[in-house]
Chains A and B, each alone.
Chain A
């Protein structure tokens, strides 16, 4: 009898310790993993960037390596699922805020950074460039999402250009200057080419999504913006990032 009770007690203590360890894993260790993955992805992107810059300098007017007709300009190659293609900066989230954007929104992709919705527009292209990010765990990239205001800048660079987007006021938000719209997970119209409740005519848009509340998933937070301008990487860091990094 006494042995049985002791065994039961030990089992409960063990379970308690395992659950505590799981909390440590979720709140701390996933962040460590995400930051490692981000460093790896940034390395890969930097390599591609240097290659592109070198190629642009080596063969400025006409691409010599291509066979057949020259490729149409500014049509980016399709993103490969699970691979990073860009870096996003949101000054509102702090000067050090910098995450890679990878193609795809499944759990394994979102462990490494922000996820691009398959089939949405590519960055800088007409349509809707839609990106999802973790609110809590895996580095908490979107933890301060509710702070986003109308007019906030979102700066993105891929391996060719800088893209500067400005956040807009959601149609439904009345007089508030918040750029954040709260909805339910089934509201897929928010990432449509012309986002429902965000805009009423076609354009070059960006959509950010994350979960709400912080420790739950009953709702989603959405922010929309439009493309302001594009500048070549060689033109240097855009003014929106100056003084923040």
Chain B
């Protein structure tokens, strides 16, 4: 795959190297800007609330709770 990309880039070695670096930087940027924020909710680190949107909508659950 990488060899195929390298063969199809235009120019001499230095031009190809420059294009490669730009490509890698763009991919990393795309990952940090779009892909990772999209994937993040599938991991559990963001769940910090007790399950509800509005505290007035709920009736307390007397059986809930695990002291520990």
| A→B interface (CB under 8 Å) | 6-7, 10-11, 18, 21-22, 25-26, 29, 105, 107, 110, 115, 117-120, 128, 130, 132-137, 142, 172-173, 181-193, 196-197, 209-211, 215-220
- Secondary structure of the A contact surface, majority rule: mixed
Contacts of A188 in B (CB 8 A): 50-52, 55, 58, 60-61, 64
B10 CB to closest chain A CB (Å) equals 22
Question: Are B47 and A185 closer than 8 Å at their CB atoms?
Answer: yes
Q: How far is the CA of A130 from the CA of B43 in the complex (A)?
A: 24
Known: A25-B36, A183-B65, A215-B45. A119 touches B57 (CB 8 A): yes
Q: For residue B56, which residues in chain A have a CB less than 8 angstroms away from its CB?
A: 119
Q: Is B53 an interface residue (CB 8 A)?
A: yes
Residue among B48, B51, B56 having the largest count of chain A Cβ atoms under 10 Å: B48
B11 interface contact, C-beta 8 A? no
Q: How far is the CA of A101 from the CA of B2 in the complex (A)?
A: 47
B13 within 8 A of A: no
Q: List 5 A-B contacts (CB under 8 A).
A: A105-B48, A117-B54, A135-B48, A209-B49, A219-B68
B50 and A190 within 8 A (CB): yes
Residues of A close to B51: CB separation below 8 A: 185-186, 188
The reply to whether A115 and B60 form a contact with Cβ atoms under 8 Å apart is no
B46 at the interface (CB under 8 A from A): yes
On whether A189 and B44 interact (CB within 8 A), knowing A21-B28, A25-B32, A117-B55, the answer reads no
Residues of A within 8 A of B52 (CB): 117, 188, 191
A216 touches B39 (CB 8 A): no
Task: Tell yes or no: B66 within 8 A of A by CB.
Answer: yes
**Cα separation A211 to B48 with both chains bound (whole Å):** 5
Known: A115-B49, A217-B44, A217-B47. A120 touches B64 (CB 8 A): no
Q: In the complex, A138→B44 CA distance in Å? A: 13
Question: In the docked arrangement, what's the CA distance between A115 and B47, Å?
Answer: 12
Contact of B28 with A187 in the complex, beta carbons under 8 Å: no
- B4-56 at interface with A (beta carbon < 8 Å): 28, 31-32, 36, 39-41, 43-56
Q: How far is the CB of A158 from chain B (nearest CB, A)?
A: 19
> Pick the contact of A184 from B40, B49, B53, B64 — CB < 8 Å?
B64
**Chain A nearest CB: distance from B34 CB in Å?**
12
Q: Are B65 and A118 in contact (CB under 8 A)?
A: no
B1, B46, B66, B68: the one within 8 Å of A110 (CB):
B46
